[in-house]
Structure 1
């Protein structure tokens, strides 16, 4: 189903979209805008998934026992050394 909508673009946005149509990359201005909205939708969904994953990770980490700063520093140093040796 298609819905007609009236939008406003800046001169730069209009020129860019028209250049995409003129070059044959898209059949119409509508196609350019639909693709742009689809990309924005995908980006927004991906950010939502990433944010939720980070939230879950933080919640799990907060439930685990805390690691003393000195021990964490030693772990980080050991990890860096392992990475250096693997190159």
Structure 2
């Protein structure tokens, strides 16, 4: 498949074909149709994609992009794991004794946080 390659500053722009299933085809419902889309890759991504195509690992840059998208589709549970980890950390911190909590009052909360940040900066500057 020919690529439309244009150099723009430090970004490469590719026009590639991507497969997407089309529902309701009458002739051959198993066949996927392709849509032409434009993507931008920075130099490092473009060079890597070109290298693995040259090395014969993928037939085209479109195939590299499709493989990356497919891998993300297979790993769609990763964000849920990250959220579960954050929820566990919040629960752990909620179980700390109250004397280890930072006391913050609603109306003055932001000023108190700013004061804590200023105090930490001063301690860092003074080597405390």
Compute the TM-score of the two structures, normalised by the length of structure 1: 0.51
**Unaligned stretches of 5+ residues in structure 2:** 1-20, 22-33, 88-128
Distance 1:48 1:3, change over 3 A: farther
Displacement of 1:3 in angstroms is 1.8
For the aligned residues, what is the CA RMSD?
3.2
Q: Which runs of 4+ in 1 moved over 3 A?
A: 45-52
Q: Are residues 1:18 and 2:65 paired?
A: no
**Unaligned stretches of 5+ residues in structure 1:** 56-87
Q: Are residues 1:34 and 2:85 paired?
A: no
Q: Distance in 2 between matches of 1:29 and 1:38?
A: 14
Q: Distance in 1 between matches of 2:82 and 2:44?
A: 32
Compute the TM-score of the two structures, normalised by the length of structure 2: 0.38
Q: Distance in 2 between matches of 1:4 and 1:19?
A: 23
Corresponding pairs, count:
67
Q: Secondary structure at the match of 2:56?
A: coil
Is the strand fraction higher in 1 or 2? Answer: 2
